Chains A and B, each alone.
Chain A
Amino acid sequence: MKTENQKAWFFVLPVLLLVAFNALIPMMTVVNYSVQETFGDNVFFWQGLDWFQQILRSDRFHAALGRQFMFTFLILIIEIPLGIAIALSMPRKGFWVPVCLVLMALPMLIPWNVVGAMWNIFTLPDIGLLGYVLNHVLGINYDMTQDPVAAWITIVTMDVWHWTSLVVLLSYAGLVSIPDAYYQAAKIDGASNWAVFRFIQLPKMKTVLTIAILLRFMDSFNIYTEPFVLTGGGPGNSTTLLSIDLVKIALGQFDLGPAAAMSLIYFAITLLVSWLFYTVMTKDDQN
């Protein structure tokens, strides 16, 4: 097993310094802003916890938080089962495996604002492929700049397009690590497809699925660039997710105090939910 060695700290030191430089100093700046009020010119007044109370009671924050949870919930409920289903139906070996993997990973390697811009031109009602087909071929009235439901369907579809492959790759990695003998044993026992999935494949995918769910939670909860480029938070405020609202307050209105307090609350929620997910999903391993 692992040996006790305090000198190992020297190996970790460069990582510690670099990450601390990037994480602690900006975090202290945010904490500093969150308890003060400023009217510019670098003059600050002590504000205590007023901003936190104000944010926690504001309807605007509740609405944005509600939209954020709704978005993340939809993402997880669609992408995780879909990703598993696709991974299960992929070929296990042969020429097509690398082809599939490369094509599937492609959307993840496109800069996030390009993803937004790409879906924007894809869905334009009269000249975008999707927008044109929906409006002029299928006769469905679709315009996401007017209709909040269409805007929601579009940002969720965009994210499914962008990130389902991550779940596929992770699940697939778990699946290929299952030895053939397991399947042969199941065949001899006359196990149904469902039984094979439930008792062989799912347990083997558990660790990678934990990573997939955690990563998808964190990243969809913190999403900013893609929906901002695609809808700008509109129509109205219907797709203004938490981070979009945060940037509006911080850089748009330059209300540094409330924005900083909101950042800290936001970060705390992300940490708390990630920790909950992690604890629940790894509970069985402890016993």
Chain B
Amino acid sequence: MQKRTIIPIVYILFLMLPIYWLVAMSFKTTNEILSGFSLFPQTFTLENYATIFTDPSWYWGYINSIIYVSINTVISVAVALPAAYAFSRYRFLGDKQLFFWLLTNRMAPAAVFALPFFQLYSAVGLFDTHLAVALAHCLFNIPLAVWILEGFMGGVPKELDETAYVDGYSFPRFFVTIFIPSIKAGVGVAAFFCFMFSWVELLLAKTLTAVAAKPIAATMTKTASSAGYELGLLAAAGTLTIIPGAIVIYFVRNYIAKGFAMGRV
């Protein structure tokens, strides 16, 4: 047993090294970074973070990202809940084909869709809005949410539905007050994955925005190219992008492993 624990420890160390380097660099001045190698920051500075928190073009990047990721998560889970219920409880014409077609949308390379997405969202007047990015990310998040939720719902016995009807519950009341609470963990896991894939995606988010809804990830690439190579600033901005994900994963830590096990997917 003792020998075995070495493997996860070594693996976690391997995962933490690049992250450590990013965080360490964010506390260095750009001068120190370029002047040579140092394992720890020699002149510890918070200046990089100060720049980000005082410059609206920086911190609005974070706000924009959080806005469209939240909208996307809410939309994806809200529409996926009834759909997953239909797939898990009923047979209907074309159900299997529809399910497979939904999943194929996860296979489409975002690079394929970048230009058509730009034209589509410009045509409907949503270009450079949070809603545009939120809706575009539905392409890969809704199929995933349906997939996960359907797995969780399959684990809830049908007797629950029947008992509720016998007790005189209407469908909407049963669905909201009894059924959804019984798959709380599934909703959490689905929301987590929607948050995650919307937060990390850049290509579509960048294509669909210009100024008003520009995500933080895009702000980083533009600043890196225009102001030379401000490594310290880039590292600080990168470090800050890890934090929202870390907070979300902390809340769902107990459901993550279970989430996959329950899904029959």
Contact = CB atoms under 8 A, between A and B. Distances in A.
Given A169-B257, A173-B260, 8 more contacts: A29-B119, A29-B120, A101-B253, A102-B253, A126-B37, A169-B260, A259-B115, A263-B111
Interface in A230-287: 242-243, 246-247, 250-251, 256, 259, 263, 266-267, 270-271, 274
A11 B91 contact: no
B7 A106 contact: no
A76 interface: no
A111 B15 contact: no
Q: Chain A interface residue count: which class?
A: 35 or more
B260 A121 contact: no
Interface stretch (A18-26, A54-62, A183-191): A18-26
B194 interface: no
Interface stretch (A44-52, A83-91, A142-150): A83-91
A63 interface: no
Interface string B249-262: 11001101111110
B53 interface: no
A71 to B, nearest CB: 14
B93 to A, nearest CB: 6
Interface stretch (B44-52, B98-106, B180-188): B98-106
Interface string B111-130: 11111110110000000000
Contact of B111 (A174, A207, A224): A224
Given A8-B92, A243-B109, A14 B82 contact: yes
Interface string A204-232: 00011001000000100110110001000
A114 B238 contact: yes
B78 to A, nearest CB: 8
Nearest to B32: A127
Interface of A: 2-9, 11-12, 14-16, 18-19, 21-23, 25-27, 29-30, 85-86, 89-91, 98, 100-114, 117-119, 121-122, 126-130, 132, 136, 161, 164-165, 168-170, 172-174, 176-177, 207-208, 211, 218, 221-222, 224-225, 229, 242-243, 246-247, 250-251, 256, 259, 263, 266-267, 270-271, 274
A247 to B, nearest CB: 5
A250 B114 contact: yes
Nearest to B6: A89
A112 B22 contact: no
